A and B are shown apart, each in its own frame.
Chain A
Amino acid sequence: MKRKILFLVTLSMILALCGCKGGKSEGEQSSTQRDSIVVGIQNNLDSLDPHVAAAAGTKEVLFNLFEGLVKPDEKGELIPAVASDYKVSEDGKTYTFTLREGVKFHNGDVVTAEDVKYSIERSAGMIEGETVLEISAFKNIESVNVVDASTVDVVLKAADTELISFMTVAIIPKNYEKQETSPVGTGPFKFVSNTYNQNFVMERFDDYWGNKPYLKTVTFKIVGSASTAVTELKSGAIDIYPYMSVDLANQLGSNTYVVSGNTNLVQALFLNNKVEPFNNVDVRIALNYAVDKQGIMDMLSDGEGTAIGSGLFPGFGKYYKDCSDVHSFNVEKAKEHLKKAGYEDGFTFTVRVPSNYQYHMDTALVIKDMLADVNVNMEIEGIEWATWLEDVYMGRNFDATIVGIDAKLAPKDMMVRYTSEGGKNFVNFASKEYDELYEKAIATTNEDEKVDYYHQMQDILANEAASVFIQDPSMLVAINSELEGYTFYPVYVQDMSVVKFKD
């Protein structure tokens, strides 16, 4: 009898265990309907505060968390976001924004006109005691006025028809102190966590006013190098990696596919116009002649990419002027200009490249090889990204550097980089004519004139060889085959709200 009981007990236990196991495997199955993905990125975010962040690699992530009064769509048009509508007064000096009803911050509060006023004033540097990366276009703001609960007026000192492009600046809650550690915005995703050197996690914001994201959780994982990314894509540890090279993309398995588009960056060998020998225009021109842009693309991206010769990339549409032929590759002419500048025997300079950007490092190697043909010796120094930001970009302590720079949808945002007094003019380019054209370009309300001014400015940058403008690189994005919907924008962003798993 005892034995029988024991047997029964044992049997029931075994059955119970089986039951557990069965139940568990069922649970696993249902969870295979994934709703979270991991996206590989190259760097730590330099700041979580959208008004402080400077790096393109940060802004592409924060795009998911924050919105401005307007935001760019995939065609490059500005569509209403936090504002449902806006009007510009006839003299071009007053912008009136009507706020969309019931837009909520991630903390549950409704966006008020005061928040909008605060956000614009903060990013304009008008609020004392707040350290932000001031938007230079906002220097023109006379005042921001709350008209009523859902209307905000932005009054300018001088007319500026491009100002609306800068109204993509993030709207954040007034008097919220913890933007740096736990950011709050109005975007389709809300912040979960940020772990230094590990990842940045965000989650679907269920009270989002617009189309809600398909994915529940998106993790941006910092991947050391593109080759690590290949391994992680193969193993499924990451689902999307936007910075593939052609050679590496060839190694990907069948569980991923690759799409290509424009990066919307100006990649250039930026020359510090203030240091010897780059203060000599002939030297800069010589370098332009010596660098074979097509050669770089052939070597690094199977010929993909768009060669540029001046400060804008083709994504700027009518404002863009193709100047890539101004100093097209010609070793003889390069030597002539070097001779003219008194550097017949060449010279040596150091290029400081952020070493985590494999593409820029590779570009440096190819350019070094090209410059050797005109007796110019380019030493390559790979540096940390943080060092680059602080020392090269902010401190302007460099001979030359290779990076890609991004811009908001306004040509002004890019062109201001070359105005003599511009805070972003890290190449120290100085041209009076250019400055005057710039003033005219932002002041005019006539669209054709504006286009003309910008074209002239690009001519100046090209003719005076402000730097060696190389290309708008092609962007290869490796994507898990189970995903669809990845969308390219004419600005440098990673929009995760449109990505979804295939049915």
Chain B
Amino acid sequence: MNKKKINFVLAIGIILTAFFVTIAIVSVFYTPCDPYDMSFKEKFLEPSGKHLMGTDNFGRDIFSRVMVAVKNSLVISGSAILISFIIGTFVGSITGYYGGIIDEILMRINDALASIPSILTAMVFVALMDKSQKTLIIALIVAFIPSFARVSRSQVIALKNRDFVKSAKLSGASNFRIIFKHILPNGKSALVTGLSVGFNNAILAEASLSFLGLGIQPPDPSIGSLLSEAQMYVATAPYYVVFPAIVMVLMVVGVVMIGEGYGKN
């Protein structure tokens, strides 16, 4: 047996991400306090045994709200990124493989989309539709398709003239089979890295939109809306902004480390 070096970066990334996913799942069934229950007698309590992260301006337990926020952020950015990954990769690899006029048209549309910052694209969508979780997901999907399309397209173009593709062609495999069975698995590491970069961009984009009041509507918490509510009280209740901020940083770091670590393997 080969002694495999432990990939610390990957391991830490997986542990962090798994931790937050666990919190997200737990938050559906259990939070220490009701994240929506207000009590003016418990306004701005400092962190304590009962309220691990203190309470906010309505006397709500920040820890419980952060748990739900993690869930909301992961659900929104996770589902958005998965769908845009699938669509983007499909479009990118097809056009990369076939080339020609379709490639030109789709990629120019793609370029046009990519030339606008994804957060702006998302904002336009939210402004056009109603402010809901669904809109937010759709907006993020549209915003993130171009980056995935480009990554997969360049992988397919780089690999499509290799010998193993040619031999697959000779043995009579269909184009679809060649793309999805032969080419893409070989570009796996680039795709996974792209996925992890996209995922943490989505987490940040969701946070930004919610911060601007365009994302999840109150009283539902998301990391962004928590930060936006908390920023008003930076001077008097610093813990309110600090904890959600730390959680967001750790979530993003976890996902980034998975991508980095995977690339090193």
- Flag if B40 contacts A299 (CB, 8 Å): yes
Residues in B209-237 with C-beta less than 8 Å from chain A: 213, 217-219, 231-233, 235-236
Cβ of B36 under 8 Å from chain A = yes
Category for how many chain B residues contact A: 20 to 34
- Flag if A369 contacts B236 (CB, 8 Å): no
Cβ of A382 under 8 Å from chain B = yes
Minimum CB–CB distance from B216 to chain A (whole Å) comes to 11
| Chain A 357-385 near chain B by CB (<8 Å), digits 1 or 0 | 00001101110110010000001111000
In the bound assembly, the distance between CA atoms of A299 and B43 in angstroms comes to 8
Cβ of A328 under 8 Å from chain B = no
Residues in B228-259 with C-beta less than 8 Å from chain A: 231-233, 235-236
> Which B residues touch A362, using CB under 8 A?
57-58
With both beta carbons as reference points, the residue of chain A lying nearest to B44 in the complex is identified as A247
- Flag if B231 contacts A369 (CB, 8 Å): no
Residues in A433-460 with C-beta less than 8 Å from chain B: none
In the bound assembly, the distance between CA atoms of A294 and B65 in angstroms comes to 25
- Flag if A361 contacts B218 (CB, 8 Å): yes
- Flag if B58 contacts A251 (CB, 8 Å): no
Cβ of A355 under 8 Å from chain B = yes
Counting chain B CB atoms within 10 Å of each CB, which of A226, A365, A368, A372 scores highest? A365
> Which B residues touch A299, using CB under 8 A?
38, 40, 43, 58-59
Neighbour of A382 across the interface among B131, B235, B236, CB < 8 A: B131
> Which A residues touch B236, using CB under 8 A?
247, 250-251
- Flag if B37 contacts A369 (CB, 8 Å): yes
Given contacts A295-B40, A299-B58, contact A227 B232 (CB under 8 A): yes
> Which A residues touch B219, using CB under 8 A?
365, 368-369, 380
- Flag if B232 contacts A248 (CB, 8 Å): yes
Cβ of A180 under 8 Å from chain B = no
Minimum CB–CB distance from B88 to chain A (whole Å) comes to 32
Residues in A313-353 with C-beta less than 8 Å from chain B: none
- Flag if A226 contacts B213 (CB, 8 Å): no
- Flag if B58 contacts A366 (CB, 8 Å): yes
Cβ of A298 under 8 Å from chain B = yes
Minimum CB–CB distance from A395 to chain B (whole Å) comes to 16
| Chain B 125-147 near chain A by CB (<8 Å), digits 1 or 0 | 00000110000000000000000
Minimum CB–CB distance from A302 to chain B (whole Å) comes to 9
> Which B residues touch A226, using CB under 8 A?
232
In the bound assembly, the distance between CA atoms of A361 and B218 in angstroms comes to 9
> Which A residues touch B43, using CB under 8 A?
247, 299
Cβ of A230 under 8 Å from chain B = yes
In the bound assembly, the distance between CA atoms of A368 and B213 in angstroms comes to 18
- Flag if B40 contacts A298 (CB, 8 Å): yes
Counting chain B CB atoms within 10 Å of each CB, which of A299, A355, A382 scores highest? A299
- Flag if B235 contacts A251 (CB, 8 Å): yes
Minimum CB–CB distance from B72 to chain A (whole Å) comes to 16
> Which B residues touch A248, using CB under 8 A?
232-233
Residues in B4-60 with C-beta less than 8 Å from chain A: 36-38, 40, 43-44, 57-59
- Flag if A369 contacts B38 (CB, 8 Å): yes
> Which B residues touch A372, using CB under 8 A?
36
Minimum CB–CB distance from B226 to chain A (whole Å) comes to 14
- Flag if B217 contacts A381 (CB, 8 Å): yes
> Which A residues touch B232, using CB under 8 A?
225-227, 230, 247-248
Minimum CB–CB distance from A383 to chain B (whole Å) comes to 9
> Which B residues touch A355, using CB under 8 A?
213
Minimum CB–CB distance from B136 to chain A (whole Å) comes to 14
- Flag if B36 contacts A369 (CB, 8 Å): yes
With both beta carbons as reference points, the residue of chain B lying nearest to A368 in the complex is identified as B219
Contacts A/B (CB < 8 Å), 6 sampled: A247-B232, A247-B236, A248-B232, A248-B233, A366-B38, A381-B131
**Given A251-B236, A299-B43, 7 new contacts (CB under 8 A):** A247-B233, A250-B236, A362-B58, A365-B219, A380-B218, A381-B217, A382-B217
Closest 6 pairs (CB-CB, A-B): A227-B232, A299-B40, A251-B235, A298-B40, A369-B38, A365-B219
